Amino acid sequence: MKKAIVLTGITTTGTPHLGNYVGAIRPAIEASKDQHVKPFYFLADYHALIKCHEPERVKRSSLEVAATWLALGLDTDNAVFYRQSDIPEIMELTWLLTCVTAKGLMNRAHAYKAAVAENEQGGESDPDKGITMGLFSYPVLMAADILMFNADKVPVGRDQVQHIEMARDIAGRFNHIFGQHFTLPEAVLDEKGATLLGLDGRKMSKSYDNTIPLFEPENRLKKLINKIKTNSLEPGEPKDSETCTLFSLYKSFATSAEVEEIRQKYAEGIGWGEMKRILFEYINEQIAPARSKYDELMAKPDHIEEQLQEGAKKARAISTPFLQELRQAVGISRISA
């Protein structure tokens, strides 16, 4: 039976945090061990340039993201783990797709529309102020990432679902004009990740600056957990677990029996200091082995680079001949053999 191709990218602009771990990394690593699927996971460094013009940061983030995935035990025998910019065919495919993508489709992209709305609300006379072509046409790049490997399923957060639909549209359009070349991908939503809360009680996200980095040293992790916002109820007063950030974090790590036990303690009035201690110890214990692996890997960037090169080799074994086929299909080829 043909294995289902599962593909996802991680934009390299920041340091992986607990929200990324629970929502995206942990399920992806689990999936990498499933012999019924063929995972393609990549560092989306071209995507990083859309929002980040700090070269050191992009570079550092690529290293951190790669080290994180490897430290957490990604099965690189089954999964193809690579860096987008090592696959030049993706860029070339981006152009082939750009030429069949309706501009109107891009006008409707949420990320672009949000940027325009922000300009308009700010009283800007030019609605496109500060918006690059990178931001505008980024769904085409993302479609190329996905279609290059004919992914069946694409696990993403809610904010990315529209991009998968656009990739389907673009694939359908290309197939219609040039013949059947692309699989139409499907988005797979991970609901759990969307609800992990950050230090201030809003969704944990880089853009809110409320994250807990996954591999912070132990003492920093403890400090950050102590900083999580709670209400002013005293120990002994019953507390609502469902609206509590600490509880939401605990739930993402613990078994359901453990969660029940803590829910009971909330009803009995557990103190915030006590709950923070329990949460820290619980997360720390789960993360500690991968954290030391991570620290080891960060000290051996050559090893990480080697792994990425291996991945690129496997990816290009597919993308190089496939792009040849696509070039033929659109009429770009040598005139004579």
Positions in the binding site for ligand TRP (CB under 6 A): 7-9, 11, 44, 47, 142, 145-146, 154, 156, 160
Across-strand partners of 153?
6, 186
Q: Which C-beta is closer to ligand TRP: that of 206 or that of 276?
A: 206
Q: Which residue has the tokens 């957060």?
A: 157
Residue 144 makes CB contacts below 8 A (sequence gap 6+) with 90, 91, 93, 94, 97
Q: Nearest distance from residue 134's CB to ligand TRP, in Å? A: 12
Residue pair 119/130 in contact by the 8 Å Cβ criterion? yes
Q: Which two tokens stand for residue 303?
A: 């090893």
Dihedral sign for Cα atoms in the order 224, 225, 230, 234: negative
Q: Which two tokens stand for residue 149?
A: 């490997």
Beta strands in the chain (DSSP E): 4-11, 37-44, 80-83, 153-156, 186-189
Q: Nearest distance from residue 160's CB to ligand TRP, in Å? A: 5
Q: How far apart are CA 233 and CA 236, in angstroms?
A: 8
Q: Nearest distance from residue 213's CB to ligand TRP, in Å? A: 18
Nearest to 168 by CA among 197, 139, 211: 139
Residue pair 112/131 in contact by the 8 Å Cβ criterion? yes
Q: How far apart are CA 316 and CA 309, in angstroms?
A: 10
Q: Which C-beta is closer to ligand TRP: that of 148 or that of 304?
A: 148
Residue pair 291/215 in contact by the 8 Å Cβ criterion? yes
Q: What is the DSSP letter of 24?
A: I
Residue 62 makes CB contacts below 8 A (sequence gap 6+) with 12, 43, 45, 48, 83
Q: Nearest distance from residue 264's CB to ligand TRP, in Å? A: 37
254-258 long-range contacts, Cβ below 8 Å, gap at least 24? 254/282
Q: Which C-beta is closer to ligand TRP: that of 110 or that of 300?
A: 110
Across-strand partners of 38?
5
Q: Nearest distance from residue 84's CB to ligand TRP, in Å? A: 7
CA 300 to chain centre: 24
Q: Which C-beta is closer to ligand TRP: that of 3 or that of 223?
A: 3
Q: Which C-beta is closer to ligand TRP: that of 17 or that of 222?
A: 17
Q: Which C-beta is closer to ligand TRP: that of 158 or that of 223?
A: 158
Q: Which C-beta is closer to ligand TRP: that of 195 or that of 284?
A: 195
Q: Which C-beta is closer to ligand TRP: that of 160 or that of 241?
A: 160
Q: Which residue has the tokens 């809610």?
A: 158
Q: Nearest distance from residue 42's CB to ligand TRP, in Å? A: 8
Q: Which C-beta is closer to ligand TRP: that of 147 or that of 278?
A: 147
Q: Nearest distance from residue 11's CB to ligand TRP, in Å? A: 5
In the complex, residue closest to ligand TRP by CB = 9
Q: Nearest distance from residue 170's CB to ligand TRP, in Å? A: 13
Q: Nearest distance from residue 189's CB to ligand TRP, in Å? A: 12
